[in-house]
Amino acid sequence: MSTRTLVTNLAALEDGPVSVSGWVETVRDQKKVQFVILRDESGAVQLVNPAVRELAEDAGPEASARLAITEQISALAHGSFITVTGDLKHDERVKLGGLEVKIGTLEVVTEALPETPIAADSSLDKRLDWRFLDLRNPKQALIFKVQTTLLHAWRTYWVERGFIEIQTPKLMASASESRAELFEIEYFEGKAYLAQSPQFFKQMAQVAGFGKVFEVGPAFRADPSFTSRHATEFTSVDAEMSWIDSHEDVMAMHEELLVAGFTAVKERHGAEIEELFGVEVTVPATPFPRIPLARAKEIVAERGYVVPREDEDMDPEGERQIAAYVREEFGHEFVFLTDYASNIRPFYHMRHEGDPSLTNSYDLLFNGVEISTGAQREHRVDVLVAQAKEKGLEPEELEFYLDFFRYGAPAHGGFGMGLARVLMLMLHEASIREVTYLFRGPTRLLP
């Protein structure tokens, strides 16, 4: 078993022998002393070597070993992976963590090429080409520590409330929403489609009697968009639950979930986020503001911006404007836009009783960007068939889905939420490319 100590654990140790391993971040090769900043997955530490540049004729083995180390350090390339044994010393004068390790032995485990292909000022596309190097940056690595904490908090919230985690198939025989954004693939003698969402299978779980389910998994959209918030493959965070009275029940669960996640992130990473991103994580107050879509468009118009098409969804500028209004009026980063028109919603969204032009649905905006769509689902099979036909879908192709509702279905609802969008907006990053481990878009399939 390795005796390696993580950098983050050094501060708790007493002065004395240690072994550390990591990547060479910087080398300061001075005349009488050499400093190496070594970084591992937990942090960085300063290594020091009293340099020996030449040997006297009567130099002993210790001096020879020190000269060899001096020459090794002088030849180190940025990014080389090394293992060092030496003596840990706590010293308040050391700016990096108040401690350093005096090098006793140094092993170059793997040597890096002398010229690094990316730099701090490289373009995002260039950095994505060399993502494995880009992710060595502590700021980039923090994103995925935050993601881990966020997902763990969400899972904990759900599990403690009796939700069941499911993993739904991503190969489908027919469209889950519409054919417009489907990836079609060859499947033996026929065709299959990559799932746009786990929607149908989440609903199947309600009819199966699971009651409440969630899933965190991949979703695919054949959308040729090059915006900062679109991807062809993304991680979808989904939940569905039975025995609801309306979409208000879904919204109440949704906002509680986000509060749980943001609380965990702030407690565990708040100080580091503020240091590296210059952002303070704010735990949102509940309830989140709720504004019907029609009223939201009126508010935006009163602010001087008219959404181009009256019968369409809010456009990006409209989203920014209503978010600005919510910040001013409520001091809140989130807002539910509710009561969407049925012509811009999927066939399976339940419509208002007495007004079929509106649906029991919502979009959730965070800092001016849509992160989620939720709704109460239609569970009456005859209504589903009629609404599918209205949308130009063939009920025959949806038979497997429609069968769910022919054997007793509870009232239910849920949402789908983009993980990368939540992270992007929480950390005030400019693009989901920054917060996606390996981004996939219309022109990117590597690395």
Do 156 and 297 have their domain in common? yes
- With 70 as the cut, is the pLDDT of residue 257 above it? yes
Counting Cα atoms < 13 Å in the Cβ hemisphere of 226 gives 4
pLDDT interval class at 346 (50, 70, 90):
very high
Return the exposure string of 329-363: e unless at least 16 CB atoms fall within 10 Å of the residue's CB, then b. eeebbbbbbbbbbbeebbbbbbbeeeeeebbbbbb
Per-residue model confidence as pLDDT tens digits over 161-188? 999 999 999 999 876 555 668 999 999 9
Task: For the chain, give the mean pLDDT.
Answer: 95
Which segments within 339-441 are labelled E, that is strand?
Answer: 351-352, 355-359, 361-366, 369-376, 412-418
In total, how many domains does the chain have?
2
Of 223, 214, 229, nearest to 196 by C-alpha is: 223
327 marked ligand binding residue: no
Do 397 and 271 have their domain in common? yes
Residue 189 lies in a domain: yes
Do 339 and 305 have their domain in common? yes
The pLDDT score that the predictor gives to residue 364 is: 98
Per-residue model confidence as pLDDT tens digits over 28-42? 999 999 999 999 999
Residue 445 lies in a domain: no
Of 308, 306, 379, 374, nearest to 345 by C-alpha is: 374
Residue 51 lies in a domain: yes
Do 428 and 281 have their domain in common? yes
Mean pLDDT, residues 131-144: 96
Strand partners, 373: 363, 416
What is the phi-psi region of residue 236: left when phi exceeds 0, alpha when psi lies from -120 to 50, beta otherwise?
A: beta
CB-CB contact of 18 with 101 (8 Å): yes
Per-residue model confidence as pLDDT tens digits over 196-242? 999 999 999 999 999 999 999 999 999 998 999 999 999 999 999 99
Residue 444 lies in a domain: no
Mean pLDDT, residues 296-321: 92
445 marked ligand binding residue: no
The pLDDT score that the predictor gives to residue 175 is: 63
373 marked ligand binding residue: yes
Mean pLDDT, residues 269-292: 98
Domain boundary among 79, 110, 141: 110
- With 80 as the cut, is the pLDDT of residue 82 above it? yes
377 marked ligand binding residue: yes
418 marked ligand binding residue: yes
| Cβ-based burial of 18 (10 A; exposed 0-12, middle 13-18, buried ≥19) | buried
Domain boundary among 56, 75, 110: 110
Do 368 and 416 have their domain in common? yes
Helix 316-330 vs helix 293-302: angle between axes, to the nearest 10 degrees? Answer: 90
Residue 37 lies in a domain: yes
Do 84 and 134 have their domain in common? no
Residue 295: CATH number of its domain: 3.30.930.10
Percent of the chain with pLDDT over 90: 90
116 marked ligand binding residue: no
Containing 335, the helix (H) or strand (E) segment is strand 334-338
317 marked ligand binding residue: no
Measured CA distances, 195 to 47, 170, 174, 178, 217 (Å): 50, 5, 9, 11, 11
The pLDDT score that the predictor gives to residue 1 is: 44
- With 70 as the cut, is the pLDDT of residue 58 above it? no
On the question of a cis peptide bond just before residue 287, with omega within 30 degrees of 0, the verdict is yes
Residue 121 lies in a domain: no
Look up the domain containing 76 and give its range.
7-110
Do 218 and 280 have their domain in common? yes
Residue 34: CATH number of its domain: 2.40.50.140
Do 173 and 282 have their domain in common? yes
Do 287 and 355 have their domain in common? yes
Q: Are strands 171-172 and 190-194 parallel, antiparallel or unpaired?
A: antiparallel
CB-CB contact of 432 with 147 (8 Å): no
Do 235 and 280 have their domain in common? yes
Do 163 and 203 have their domain in common? yes
Residue 359 lies in a domain: yes
pTM, full prediction: 0.94
Domain boundary among 55, 82, 110: 110
The pLDDT score that the predictor gives to residue 2 is: 59
The pLDDT score that the predictor gives to residue 57 is: 66
Mean pLDDT, residues 103-117: 96
Residue 443 lies in a domain: no
Per-residue model confidence as pLDDT tens digits over 359-417? 999 999 999 999 999 999 999 999 999 999 999 988 998 899 999 999 999 999 999 99
Do 224 and 190 have their domain in common? yes
